[in-house]
Structure 1
Amino acid sequence: MTTFRLGAYAVAIENDRVLLVRCASAFDEGHWSLPGGAVEHGEDPFDAVVREVAEETGCAAVVEHLLGVDSRFIPAAERHMPEKGSHQNIGVFYQVRITGEPRPEPNGATSDPVWTLLTDVAGLRRAALVDVGLALAAGRPPTGHVAAVPVGGLVIH
């Protein structure tokens, strides 16, 4: 069995800071991620990223550019729930401009939206998609694709 997820993620960078949210789950003690999440059935990823930013941070997001797409396949043996089989995640990354002051998501899966210095990101326990989004924003590859991000240490699936 293989599961699949299409997600849309916001890369908001200003004044050498990136907007991150804390994610907690039953599988780990918490990690940092970009605002974003699953695209709902029938929803355009462009609309999904705006909705997810509003839900997770209380801010409005203005999409400025499509940065790229990341496809990540996680074998069952590397998943937190190996009994569910392998998993493929397709992430669509957008550069966004944020308006408003971040606030925690009420009763949501994320908390603590924080503007974080880019120089501090490497020391955070974070989702691999943070590194993917920052690489896309920094490199602006013409293909919209960056090399796979190695997972391990502070970087998780």
Structure 2
Amino acid sequence: MSFRLAAYGVCVEDGRVLLGRHVSSDGRSTWTPPGGGVEHAEDPIDTVVREVAEETGYDAVVERLLGVDSRVIPAAEARRGEKHQNVGVFYRLRVTGGRLRPEPDGGIAEAVWTPLGDVAGLRRSSLVEVGLTLARTLPATGHVAPVPVGGLVRH
């Protein structure tokens, strides 16, 4: 089983959320919160700030820890065809500068501010659901129920 520790940013301003459109090797697009893998010896807070800058062009600061999500993706649904565990640390972020742009030579084809009411109609990662639920409910445990995957919601 493969394993990944990642940090994700939830940026919500004026009824909109910052999302990136990831394009897979088979050409399918999936919307996701900005974020990515924690490098060896890197603090997850530094990861999310770095990833937001890389994927969106924005400078951001962490306002608070929202929670942690751990999910196991069955081999049949995982990108590499092997069972995979992703542990995601979610932070609420505030944009402080920079200019919105796609990730140069990266996996994010575009970054956009999406009205919260439009999110349900997007083909999106379950990470979007987790991040928005954590930001809306602020659970004391920092944990939300698993997100059902299917329809427009993907791993």
2:84 equivalent to 1:56: no
Corresponding residue of 1:107? 105
Tell me the alpha carbon deviations over residues 112-151 of structure 1, each in whole angstroms, 9 at most, x when there is no partner. Answer: 1100000000000000000000000000000000000000
- Alignment of 1:145 onto 2:143: yes
- 2:94 pairs with 1:97: yes
Aligned residues: 154
Cross-structure match for 1:155: 153
Deviations for 1:53-87, whole angstroms, at most 9, x for unmatched residues? 010011101100000000000121222332xx210
Matched, 1:129 2:127: yes
Q: Structure 1: give runs of 5+ residues left out of the alignment.
A: none
Partner SS, residue 143 of structure 1? coil
- 1:102 is displaced (CA, Å) by 1.0
List 4+ stretches of structure 1 deviating above 6 A. Answer: none
TM-score, normalised on structure 1?
A: 0.95
Is 1:66 the counterpart of 2:65 in the alignment?
Answer: yes
- Work out whether residues 27 and 80 of structure 1, in 8 Å CA contact, stay in contact via their aligned partners in 2: no
Q: 1:27 to 1:5 in 2, by over 3 A?
A: farther
| Deviation at residue 28 of structure 1 after TM alignment | 5.0
Find the residue that maps to 2:76 and give its secondary structure. Answer: helix
Q: C-alpha offsets along residues 21-80 of structure 1, whole Å, 9 cap, x if unaligned?
A: 000111451110000000001100010000000100111011000000000001212223
Q: Which residue of 2 aligns with 1:21?
A: 20
For the residue of structure 2 that corresponds to 1:10, the secondary structure is strand
Q: Secondary structure at the match of 1:54?
A: helix
Structure 1 stretch displaced more, 41-50 or 73-82: 73-82
CA–CA distance in structure 2, aligned partners of residues 81 and 11 of structure 1: 26
Q: Give distance in 2, aligned partners of 1:78 and 1:50.
A: 29
What is the aligned-residue identity percentage? 63
- Which ranges in structure 2 are unaligned for 5 or more consecutive residues? none
Query: Which of 85, 88, 110 is equivalent to 1:88?
Result: 85
Name the Cα RMSD after superposition.
1.0
Q: Secondary structure at the match of 1:31?
A: strand
